[in-house]
Amino acid sequence: MNGKIEVEHLSKTFKKGDVQAVKDVSFTVEDGEFFAFLGPNGAGKSTTVQILTTLINATGGKATVAGHDVIREPEKVRRYIGVALQETGVDPDLTGRELIELQANIFGFSKTEAKKRAEELLKIVQLTDSAERRIGNYSGGMRRRLDLALTLVNEPKILFLDEPTTGLDPSNRMAIWKELRRLNEENGTTIFLTTQYLEEADSLAHRISIINDGEIVATGTPRELKAQIGNDLIALTFSSKEEEEKAERILKEHMDPSDVILQNGKLTVYVEDGTKQLLELVRLLDQENIEVATVNLSSPTLDDIFLKITSEQAEKEGEVHGE
Amino acid sequence: MGNSVWKDTWLITLRSIKTTLRNPFSFIPNLMISAFFLLVYEGGLSGISQLPMFEGANYLAFILPVSIVSAAIGGAGGAGQGIVKDIENGFFSRLLLTPASRLAIVLGPIIAGMLQLFIQTLLIIGIAFLLGLEVETGFGGILFVLLIAIGWGLAFAGYSAGVALRTKNAQAAQAGTFIFFPLIFLSTTFVPYELIEAQWLKVAATINPTTYIFESMRTVLIDGWIFWDLMQGVIAIVIACTITITFAAVSAKKAVSRG
Ligand SMILES: Nc1ncnc2c1ncn2[C@@H]1O[C@H](COP(=O)(O)OP(=O)(O)OP(=O)(O)O)[C@@H](O)[C@H]1O
Ligand SMILES: [Mg+2]
């Protein structure tokens, strides 16, 4: 048994609403790798997690988790994985300790083993002090941490975490990040994490796949992806449409045209070094008598990456169809 | 690593019992309504048992089955409510992600609901004895009444679990329970069949299986071991259980499948 995830041409169409949530997705996560699935709302992240964790069936393709086919051998897959779904699944009437012990008992631990495991896990997620309280009274952050503890009960070879830090405050987020890093580095646990936060994927994952509208649009190490995107982003607005278009034309002449995107009255420019290039840009436009209304320098967000990647795709398709 | 179906069922049932006990409001109102039938109708209506059609029967023994059926329905309804709660708060999915037996995941709350029903019925019978109940067939008769209550409760538990697993929605499951309560009243609830005047109520009482449950309980409580009078309750239960448990099983299969 290994901690590998292999996905080939996976698809899922929901009959209800005829939604194609996952479209021909393929990727491999190596044993011991920390892999992030980065994508916006509705991208298909949770659907993929649910297929890989045996909760729902794919409508096409094939997936192997820990060496077992998720469709043909779901019982075997369930033994080796730990799963924290996007919505935490806890019984609010039990205490934290009772729930962890129950989970351990279900995985075949004896009573004493289960008690011991609960004690260890409560300590790891820093819930020892609240262990005797009912989960219904836990805060969102505490529930998330308990959820993480529950996923670790069976010492899984592979962890699936669907947006484990969404909605958490920075200190809870840091606590979870720290624990995930430890699990991956010390225990060699393979981790499949989904997130909407670029910085989260960036700081945790060895490799990232960006998923948008059910399709993987880019895959690489954080460094590779960023190099593709540019480190900084300059957003410019102008007081007239003519100036906008003129500025776009001029900037496209002076740099890689795919780094210049005009959308909704905003001209976005991806650059290597924002502070240096900002001045050059403004000077260049000034020489052409174009008046800049506002300027904004920032780091790219997930939205910006999508904008860039999807516009590149559109351009490529345009070339293909145009010639 | 891994448990037998029995071990899983045991673990999940224990946990359902625990959560029921921690939510006293999930069973106290129903228990009070059931006790209310006994206390109020025994106090307020017992005079009518002087009528000749009652053939000298004691009204307490006549009204007791109503109270028991109401308690049984409430207790068994706990099965469906337990399942809906698990589905709504995501705990059901968490269990599905473990190697736990799929059967145990569904059976746990149902067994806990049946246990709740058993204890509520015992309590109601206890109250009836405190009020001065006398049973024609003695201890054996009480056992028979308990069996009928459990059987009828099982039929209802199957129904409520089926609705819960199908709709996955607390309001729908609750509404499903309310359909059963009118059945208690469209029957020989307060007076024997011969005393019902409205024709429509006579028809309703004839097609309502609850009538046969009441009648078989009353037979052992009041008249004695009269075989065919007892069997009508047993037959009603067998038919109802066959239908509702099939419904529950089909719904359960769908709920744990990965469609
Ligand atoms: N059970 C379902 N039935 C029908 N459509 C569904 C179902 N689950 C998800 N979808 C649809 O599939 C698409 C992908 O949803 P999914 O939950 O996988 O996205 P996500 O990337 O997890 O988004 P989020 O960041 O909001 O959690 C969406 O369009 C969603 O509406
Ligand atoms: Mg999601």
Confidence of residue A59 (pLDDT cuts 50, 70, 90): very high
**Which CATH number is A88's domain given?**
3.40.50.300
Mean pLDDT of A170-181: 92
Q: What is the pLDDT of residues A209-219, one digit of tens each?
A: 999 889 998 89
> Quick one: how many helices (H) and strands (E) in chain B?
11, 0
Exposure string (b/e) for B117-131, b if CB count within 10 Å is 16 or more? Answer: bbebbeebbebbeee
Higher pLDDT, residue A222 or A182: A182
**Measured CA distances, A99 to A95, A122, A150, B189 (Å):** 6, 11, 8, 44
For residue B81, give the nearest of B103, B113, B104 by alpha carbon: B113
Same-domain pairing of A113 and A261: no
Q: Tokens 């102008």 correspond to what residue?
A: A238
Residue B3 has pLDDT above 90, yes or no: no
Same-domain pairing of A160 and A250: no
CB A191 within 8 A of CB A203: no
CA distance A118 to A102: 9
What is the domain range of residue A268? 230-299
CA distance A178 to A305: 26
3-state secondary structure of A220: strand
Residue A320 lies in a domain: no
Chain B interface includes A136 (CB < 8 A) = no
Please write down the long-range contacts of A282-288, taking CB distance under 8 Å and 24 or more positions apart. A284/A250, A284/A251, A284/A254, A285/A236, A285/A247, A285/A250, A285/A251, A288/A246, A288/A247, A288/A250
Q: Which pLDDT score is estimated for A304?
A: 72
CB A161 within 8 A of CB A185: no
B193 DSSP assignment: G
Residue A28 lies in a domain: yes
Centroid of ligand 2 to alpha carbon of A291 (angstroms) = 43
Residue of minimum CA distance from atom 28 in ligand 1: A42
A302 lines ligand 1 (CB under 6 A): no
CB A52 within 8 A of CB A24: no
Last residue of a domain, one of A203, A225, A247: A225
Same-domain pairing of A116 and A234: no
Residue A153 lies in a domain: yes
Q: Which pLDDT score is estimated for A76?
A: 93
Same-domain pairing of A220 and A234: no
Q: Considering CB atoms only, which of B11, B93, B99 is closest to A75? A: B99
Q: Which pLDDT score is estimated for B98?
A: 93
A50 lines ligand 1 (CB under 6 A): no
Residue B208 has pLDDT above 70, yes or no: yes
CB B79 within 8 A of CB B115: no
**Identity of the residue numbered A161:** L
Same-domain pairing of A137 and A253: no
Residue A303 has pLDDT above 70, yes or no: no
Q: Which two tokens stand for residue A9?
A: 């041409």
How much of chain B, in percent, has pLDDT values that exceed 70?
A: 94
| Interface touch A108/B3, C-beta < 8 Å | yes
Same-domain pairing of A27 and A162: yes
Mean pLDDT of A295-313: 75
Higher pLDDT, residue B172 or B112: B112
Q: Considering CB atoms only, which of B19, B96, B98 is closest to A94? A: B19
Chain B interface includes A255 (CB < 8 A) = no
Same-domain pairing of A79 and A97: yes
Atom of ligand 1 lying closest to residue A44 CA: 18
Mean pLDDT of A30-36: 97
Same-domain pairing of A191 and A281: no
Mutation to probe ligand 1, out of A25, A47, A211 (largest number of atoms < 8 A from CB): A47
3-state secondary structure of A39: coil
CB A36 within 8 A of CB A201: yes
| Interface touch B89/A90, C-beta < 8 Å | yes
Q: Which pLDDT score is estimated for A323?
A: 39
Chain B interface includes A133 (CB < 8 A) = no
Last residue of a domain, one of A193, A225, A257: A225
Confidence of residue A5 (pLDDT cuts 50, 70, 90): very high
What is the domain range of residue B191? 5-256
> How many angstroms separate the first and last alpha carbons of chain B?
28
Mean pLDDT of A143-168: 93
Last residue of a domain, one of A181, A206, A225: A225
Angle between helices B28-36 and B59-88 (to 10 degrees): 160
Strand partners, A95: A134
Number of domains in chain A: 2
User: Is the Cα dihedral B12, A91, A81, A47 positive or negative?
Assistant: positive
Q: How many residues does chain B have?
A: 259
Residue of minimum CA distance from atom 12 in ligand 1: A21
Q: Which pLDDT score is estimated for B124?
A: 93
Mean pLDDT of B124-151: 92
Residue A177 lies in a domain: yes
Same-domain pairing of A163 and A244: no
Q: Out of A112-116, A288-292, B11-15, B235-239, which region has the weakest mean confidence (pLDDT)? A: A288-292
Q: For testing the chain B interface, which of A90, A105, A133, A192 should be mutated: the one with the most B CBs within 10 Å?
A: A105
Residue A315 lies in a domain: no
> How many angstroms separate the first and last alpha carbons of chain A?
50
Residue A102 has pLDDT above 80, yes or no: yes
* Cα of A321 vs its chain's centroid, Å: 32
Strand partners, A60: A11
Residue A308 lies in a domain: no
CB atoms within 10 A of CB A296: 12
3-state helix, strand, coil in chain B (%, to 5): 85, 0, 15
| pTM as predicted | 0.84
What does R_g of chain A's alpha carbons equal in angstroms? 23
Q: For testing the chain A interface, which of B22, B102, B258 should be mutated: the one with the most A CBs within 10 Å?
A: B258
Residue A43 lies in a domain: yes
Number of domains in chain B: 1
Q: Considering CB atoms only, which of A79, A83, A90 is closest to B1? A: A79
Highest-pLDDT range among A59-68, B54-63, B248-257 = A59-68
Residues 152-191 of A with CB under 8 A from B: 154
**Identity of the residue numbered B59:** Y
Residue A309 lies in a domain: no
